[in-house]
Amino acid sequence: MEIKMLESIDYDVVARLLYESYIPQWNNTGCPEWNTEYIEYLIKSYIKPRNGLCIGALKDGTLVGIGFGYINDWMVAELGKITTICVCNLGVLPAHQRRGVATGIIKKLEEDAQNRGVHLIYRICNEELNDHKGFAQARYAKKLNNVYQMARIMGKEMIDTTAKLKGYGRGVKMLLKAIAGFPKEKNKIQYGTIREGTEADIAACIELLNSYQNIAEISQVWSENEFANIINNGIILQKKPFALIYYVWEVDRIVKAFVAGRFEKIIYERGTGISAIISHAGFAGDLDRKDKTSFIVSVLYEIKAREPNTFATNLAVAHHEEKAFDKAGFNNDRSTRPLYVKSLNDSVNEWVQTPWKYKRYCIPYQR
């Protein structure tokens, strides 16, 4: 087995590999429909902008395993800015699993990242899939018990769809009826303009994202180029229902809030559904919680208008503004996602070894 950096990437081959490797494990929890355009979008939006890593495992010249490294900077209260790498989109074809292939890919990611001066490597795992066991065995430290995500059902008319896809019984369906009501229109933003974002809004969005460095214990450090790639590459998502989500709230020509993400087709053992993924969001510091929630409600209406069959909207990161999302009907998505990390630089060794008791953080996440 040869494990090496891939100099060129065949998006179609990678899409098929991830589809075949993810489906057996993710079928109950929900797996995106890996397709060529989706893979191209993720790589060009998150991996290439910072010259991230793509490690392949080849058997007789055939790609049988793959793993990516998403390089991003954190602002940490005790340390200042550090460079990290997220292990993501890690997959091995079923016929080659349990043979140390994934371990070899992770080790190669560690070595190459360390050579580039990266301080920390990490993975947000999903305990339902048992992927945390491999990282624990590789001496990664569990630092946060649950970097949980939030989700909400897009109205009571979507309860039956949600219950079918997730295999919920009658009891859970009754519970969902109590919490799945769609927000009333009167709770939408009543002033300013909610509109689709443009390239001209990127600088303002970056300012909002980076403002959290002043109040959070861990927050991502953004450049305009990094965020621009996420937005501008949205044109790649041409296979319905995949599409870019990007809305801003403008008041007196000032962007006060924004969300960005995408629509995805999610595959379950019992069928498929459309989900809206909010991957990035930012709010001006002078907004109160009610205004923040009203903007989120307005975005939910925009999402529902564009894709009426969207059964759920997910907040894909543990966000600084979880209270505002909670008031818009988002709840803990019931999964457990522990954060595992390993130091790659002596300057962060002591920090990694001490307990993390953070309350306000945003850890960049990729599958």
CATH code at position 76 = 3.40.630.30
Q: What is the mean pLDDT of the chain?
A: 92
Tally of domains within the chain: 2
Between residues 23 and 158, which one has the greater pLDDT? 158
Q: Would you state the structure tokens that stand for residue 267, as one six-digit string?
A: 């595959």
d(CA 289, CA 276): 23
d(CA 94, CA 116): 32
322 Cα distance to chain centroid: 15
170 and 52 in a common domain: no
C-beta of residue 66 within 8 angstroms of C-beta of residue 43: no
Please tell me the pTM assigned to this model.
0.94
d(CA 39, CA 105): 19
Residue 305 lies in a domain: yes
Overall average pLDDT of the 150-174 stretch:
85
C-beta of residue 283 within 8 angstroms of C-beta of residue 271: no
- Examine the pLDDT at 3 and tell me if it is beyond 90: yes
Residue 313 lies in a domain: yes
Q: How confident is the model at residue 130 (pLDDT cuts 50, 70, 90)?
A: low
289 and 158 in a common domain: yes
343 and 279 in a common domain: no
192 and 51 in a common domain: no
What confidence score (pLDDT) does residue 334 get? 62
Residue 112 lies in a domain: yes
Residue 367 lies in a domain: no
192 and 55 in a common domain: no
What confidence score (pLDDT) does residue 92 get? 94
Residue 343 lies in a domain: yes
92 and 14 in a common domain: yes
What confidence score (pLDDT) does residue 28 get? 67
d(CA 150, CA 329): 9
Q: What is the pLDDT of residues 178-221, one digit of tens each?
A: 777 899 999 999 999 999 999 999 999 999 999 999 889 999 99
172 and 267 in a common domain: yes
184 and 113 in a common domain: no
Residue 14 lies in a domain: yes
Overall average pLDDT of the 2-20 stretch:
95
Q: Tell me the residue range of the domain where 26 lies.
A: 2-147+339-353
108 and 27 in a common domain: yes
168 and 156 in a common domain: yes
287 and 255 in a common domain: yes
What confidence score (pLDDT) does residue 322 get? 87
- Examine the pLDDT at 171 and tell me if it is beyond 80: no
Residue 218 lies in a domain: yes
Per DSSP, the residues of 200-245 read: GGHHHHHHHHHGGGGT-SEEEE--HHHHHHHHHGGGG--STT-EEE
Q: Which of 106, 89, 93 is nearest to 47 (CA)?
A: 89
194 and 116 in a common domain: no
- Examine the pLDDT at 58 and tell me if it is beyond 80: yes
Residue 105 lies in a domain: yes
Work out whether strand 339-343 and strand 120-124 pair parallel, antiparallel, or are unpaired.
Answer: antiparallel
Q: How confident is the model at residue 29 (pLDDT cuts 50, 70, 90)?
A: confident
